[in-house]
Amino acid sequence: MKTIDQLLDEGVNGKRVFVRADLNVPLADGQITDDGRIRAVLPTVQALTGAGAKVVVASHLGRPKGAPDPAFSLLPAAERLGELLGEPVTFAQDTVGPAAHAAVDGLEPGQVAVVENLRFNPGETSKDDAERGTFADALAALADVYVGDGFGAVHRKHASVYDLPARLPHYAGHLIATEVGVLRKLTDDVQRPYAVVLGGAKVSDKLGVIDNLLEKADRILIGGGMVFTFLKAKGYEVGASMLQEDQIPVVQEYLKRAGEKGVEFVLPVDVVVSGGFPDLKVKEATHPDVVPADAIPAGQMGLDIGPATAELYATKLADARTIFWNGPMGVFEHPDYADGTRAVAQALLDSPAFTVVGGGDSAAAVRLLGFDENAYGHISTGGGASLEYLEGKTLPGLAALED
């Protein structure tokens, strides 16, 4: 895989460089609530503009249905990119049409244009190779060189991620090079003890990574909505908590395998419960209770790990040399259910381990709860991509960058 450093050595002055970024930021009423992914691509964009490239930035945002939708416009992300760069950024109101070509044709060396959401075009996400290829041809007409730096999308076989690199000289940007280097430390060169903290809503989203980590991790700590399927698999009643009944046999098998392999599976000893899911807009006090994990009352919903569990998990992470964390411990967006996630975030900081926060909601939680991002070993920009890499899958966007 050639990197942007090699591209810069070859020279980019005056060349049109297509940067496939990941500007898929969360929006609320048209305002960006977390600009972490935009800031993550800055080193690549600044390196290229500093070397005189004409930079064309492209990304997806959300899940529009293959047609323009104002709710998913990249305009707010383009404006924020310009603010962070301290330079005006041209925004094209289409992706490969007249506006995009005019924007790119108008670039001077060192300037940046952002084209509209890639997923406004059905060819971006099509499962038909020919349709994706046609869209990739149209994208290739905008540039001389391709730089892949949208790590959050490399697990997708999409036109701008998988097909376009085959049509242009291609290089990995700074972000992708960094992300791959970090993930190799979690798979090929692990310092032990190796502890993994997994949370989030659905256990089904994490089955593949759990399966693979049973061969690599020393300790796996479980939280979030997915934990109630584990508790149910142990025979506990979980009240009105989130539950995936169909996954119970798989979870029971994983618990059995963990015991056979000597992998320590750590589950909550207490849970924060309430009578229903909180309003995340109003965030009024809900007066939750703390109950033992094996005694959740009927009608009560588990929404966070309890204080005794938070203390237990901090102890289990204290002597680790490598920690990977993906998924919050509870509904961290509400102050009544943020303590478990806060405790894990703090435990990572207190540990001497190489710490990786695995993207998505975990990264958002670190920022929302006021922690210093730079204090962690690495905060990934791609939750799904990180998980699939750790599952041992081939990621199409990384394979496309290899020669």
- Residue 202 a catalytic site member: yes
Catalytic residue selected from 327, 330, 384, 397: 384
Query: Residues 202, 226: contact at Cβ < 8 Å?
Result: yes
Catalytic residue selected from 2, 167, 202, 393: 202
Catalytic residue selected from 15, 16, 20, 37: 37
Catalytic residue selected from 123, 360, 383, 397: 360
- Residue 384 a catalytic site member: yes
Q: Looking at the annotation, which residues are catalytic? A: 37, 202, 360, 384
